[in-house]
Amino acid sequence: MGGLPAVQYQRPACRMSHARTSMGREKLVRDGIPDLIRASGVEPVIRVADATEYRPLLRAKLTEEVDEFLASDDPAELADVLEVVFALAAQLGVDRDTLERHRESKAAERGGFAGRTVWCGNAVTGPRPGDRDRLTRHDLPLAAGGEDPSVASP
């Protein structure tokens, strides 16, 4: 996803002297994941993120979920992206309705993406500053009467 920097939040592993873990690093998971892990017969090693690390963990999770969607094109992964976006918005004090109003406002002002519009740049309507030195007389626009301005009039 060009433009978005890869975000990798790193913090020391869960510090429990008696616990051995199978993961190389921590990651933010949905609140119900520890119960699902327990139901499979394994005891998860978890902790609760503190307030200062929560937003960086969410940003790293957003990158993870976007990457998963890009790799799979699975709409269920988009639901995960939305869940992280809603959590990030809540961190900024923005509820889902306000976020949707922001989206609607941008769509009304700038449109959506259904038209599949691809911007290729802006048309050049004449020589750019400095181009005149590199142009030949055949590259220069004709004068109003169709005369070549580089040819002297009799």
Helices (H), the chain: 33-39, 51-72, 75-91, 96-110
Residue 99 lies in a domain: yes
- Asked, for residue 55, whether it belongs to a domain, the answer is yes
Domain assignment present for 119: no
Asked if the structure places residue 36 within a domain, the reply is no
Question: Which structural domain range is residue 56 located in?
Answer: 50-110
**pLDDT score, position 127:** 75
Determine, yes or no, domain membership for 122: no
- Residue 126's pLDDT is 79
**Rounded distance between C-alpha atoms, residue 151 and residue 148, angstroms:** 6
Give dist(CA 67, CA 78) in Å, integer: 10
Q: Residue-wise pLDDT tens for the chain (154 aa)? A: 445 455 554 454 555 434 556 777 899 999 999 999 999 999 999 999 999 999 999 999 999 999 999 999 999 999 999 999 999 999 999 999 999 999 999 999 999 999 999 999 999 887 777 666 665 555 555 555 555 555 555 5
In a domain, 71, yes or no: yes
Question: For the chain, what is the domain count?
Answer: 1
pTM here is: 0.67
Note whether residue 5 is domain-resident: no
- Which pLDDT score is estimated for 148? 54
Within-domain flag for 57: yes
